[in-house]
Chains A and B, each alone.
Chain A
Amino acid sequence: MFGKLRLVASVHIMRRLFFILSFSFLTAAFIIIAPVSVLAVTVGPAKMEYRVDPGAVVENTIILINDSGAKQTLWPAFEKFTEVNGEKKFRPAEPTELANWIKLPESVTLEPAEQKRIPFTIEIPQKAPPGGHFAVIWWGTAPPQGPGQVSIVTRAGILVYLQVSGQVNESAEVLRFSAEGKRFFWGKMPESFVVSFRNSGNTYQKPQGEILIKNIFKGKIVDFGVNDVNVIFLPDTEANLRIAKKFNKPPFAFGLYKAELVLRWGEKPESIKKSIWFFVFPWKQALGGIIALAILFFGLKKGIRKYNQWIIKKARESGI
């Protein structure tokens, strides 16, 4: 009797324990899995480019999305940007710079998951210096006033590239063009090239073009698009463009080939051509071919010898 009661009690306790454990596990899992986004903002477009005259007014809209689960007010902030060693540096702008020509509402309040198109204007002064002007429009929350010693602010930025017409200097040059690895001999068709570009003008440049691989009979083998991802070079900057192609079926190549780079940039598309030569020796295939030829050669030689002996033997037998 007591044994049965003890068993029932144990089952009951185990059930409760199981329930408590399951509940705790689910609660913990929820806490771990549930995202706790304090600030989540999406802005678009990521980049804007304008070519304008002094005194012009640009009118457009930007997208602002509240990705967080709560109503939030977002404030815009403006800075200029430059590039140092390929890294963007955002700095407070002078009153005469692009960051201060942009007009946006002082703040925007969005419901959870709400998306709004926010109109803005850029008023270019009559005396705006010709050339490139660069600014970032940040959207973020004000610094929180919390108990923590480290307050965290998050913001997303839209990059603005603006060129004012006038005495615009579009000089730029290709410093280096080579196959990645700088080799002359290749075991297969090279899949990536490097173009080192320098913008020495006073405006931004987006060099684009193509690399054509030709054989010695000038027959086109393959082409690569250059800067398909729209990398922008600020004035007085240089950087490497990596041009790569993943071949689904690599073209068979053997011999001497020429890679021709054609690059264009600026309003009056200047184009520059550079070429390099390289030699492709598909040693794996060649080795296979040599082994096959050797087997064929020695096999044939041996076979012929045996055949000759057989013919001679037959001839002798028949008394020729």
Chain B
Amino acid sequence: MKKIILRLLEREDTLTTIGLTAVVLFVMTSWFWPSLEILITPPEQVSAATTSAVTVTASVEATISCSTDQSSSAFGALTSSVIATSTPNASSTISCANAASGCSLYVKDAGNAVNGGLATTSPAYLIRSPNAAGDATSTLVAGTEGYGIQAATTTTGTGAVLGVVARYLQTGNTVGRLDITNQTIASTTATSSNREVKITHKAAISSVTPAGSYSDTTTYECSAN
């Protein structure tokens, strides 16, 4: 018996067979593994003793909250030699409680009711947003007409973070176009609380911009996705 075992062990193909058997066993076990796991997992629910049951129901409604910390912002007297930033900057906060698909913050402006921009009625004139061509974004230059906004998120709030869209995620003197129809500024993909976006309004005029009292109304809107 001892001699037979010794002979078998001396043969290399015996070891190869043992190795291959181990690999095959490993592969087959891995296929069945999850099923085995299910078999040995204790049931999540067990039958309870028969007692009188009290059913408590409650409904949680999804809500949307929207707030802005300013009701107006002013550029002061615009001159063709500077790019003006209105003060104060506005901060919009959005919460979407139990709205699992998240929520969005939109912006639109009044402009001249045809295009977005800073408008005056006397004389009727529009500093078009963000530039005379009405591009999606534009880098403002002193002495050339333009107007628009920049948006940036802060660390305020909890839950899903707000993602600012490329058009408004600008720095320096580059601004995004304001339209008379709503445009998304930022959105979340899940519930969030008190997430904040800081809005900066910038404008520039040229030497031929008619003198007048220019104004605009920007509307910030929040809704579920």
Q: Which residues of A does B touch, CB under 8 Å?
A: 35-47, 63, 65, 67-68, 87-91, 136, 138, 140, 143-144, 146-159, 215-217, 219-221, 228-231, 251-255, 289, 293, 297, 300-301, 304, 307-308, 311
Cross-interface CB contact of A150 among B96, B218, B222, cutoff 8 Å = B218
List of A residues within 8 angstroms of B66 by Cβ: 39-42, 154-156
Interface residues of B in 67-112 (CB under 8 A from A): 67-75, 86, 90, 92-93, 95-96, 98-104, 106
List of A residues within 8 angstroms of B217 by Cβ: 143, 150-153
Cross-interface CB contact of A156 among B19, B32, B69, B223, cutoff 8 Å = B223
A289 to chain B, nearest CB (A): 7
Whether a CB of chain A sits under 8 angstroms from the CB of B12 is yes
CB-based A-B contact count at 8 angstroms = 207
Asked if B71 and A301 make an inter-chain contact with CB atoms under 8 angstroms apart, the answer reads no
Interface residues of B in 106-123 (CB under 8 A from A): 106, 118
Cα(A87)–Cα(B107), bound, Å: 13
B190 to chain A, nearest CB (A): 7
Cross-interface CB contact of B182 among A46, A89, A151, A311, cutoff 8 Å = A89
Asked if A42 and B63 make an inter-chain contact with CB atoms under 8 angstroms apart, the answer reads yes
Asked if B224 and A159 make an inter-chain contact with CB atoms under 8 angstroms apart, the answer reads yes
Q: Which residues of B does A touch, CB under 8 Å?
A: 6, 9-10, 12, 15, 19, 22-23, 26-27, 30-35, 37-38, 61-75, 86, 90, 92-93, 95-96, 98-104, 106, 118, 181-182, 184, 190, 201, 214-225
Asked if A46 and B103 make an inter-chain contact with CB atoms under 8 angstroms apart, the answer reads yes
Asked if B100 and A229 make an inter-chain contact with CB atoms under 8 angstroms apart, the answer reads yes
Asked if B62 and A39 make an inter-chain contact with CB atoms under 8 angstroms apart, the answer reads no
Asked if B33 and A151 make an inter-chain contact with CB atoms under 8 angstroms apart, the answer reads no
Which A residue sits closest to B59, measured CB to CB?
A45
List of A residues within 8 angstroms of B190 by Cβ: 229
Cα(A307)–Cα(B9), bound, Å: 10
Cα(A89)–Cα(B93), bound, Å: 21
Asked if A157 and B31 make an inter-chain contact with CB atoms under 8 angstroms apart, the answer reads no
Cα(A136)–Cα(B64), bound, Å: 13
Cα(A36)–Cα(B93), bound, Å: 12
A-B contact pairs, 26 of them (CB 8 A): A38-B69, A38-B70, A44-B63, A44-B64, A46-B64, A46-B103, A47-B224, A65-B65, A68-B67, A89-B181, A91-B181, A144-B71, A144-B72, A147-B74, A148-B74, A150-B216, A152-B68, A153-B219, A154-B92, A155-B221, A156-B222, A216-B31, A229-B100, A231-B101, A301-B15, A307-B9
Asked if B222 and A157 make an inter-chain contact with CB atoms under 8 angstroms apart, the answer reads yes
Asked if A215 and B223 make an inter-chain contact with CB atoms under 8 angstroms apart, the answer reads no
Which B residue sits closest to A293, measured CB to CB?
B19
List of B residues within 8 angstroms of A158 by Cβ: 64, 223
Cα(A152)–Cα(B90), bound, Å: 8
With A67-B65, A152-B217 given, name 11 new contacts (CB 8 A): A39-B68, A148-B71, A149-B74, A150-B118, A151-B217, A152-B220, A154-B219, A155-B222, A297-B15, A300-B15, A307-B9
Cα(A204)–Cα(B27), bound, Å: 47
B101 to chain A, nearest CB (A): 4
A127 to chain B, nearest CB (A): 29
B107 to chain A, nearest CB (A): 10
Cα(A151)–Cα(B73), bound, Å: 7
Cross-interface CB contact of A46 among B31, B99, B184, cutoff 8 Å = B99
Which A residue sits closest to B62, measured CB to CB?
A46
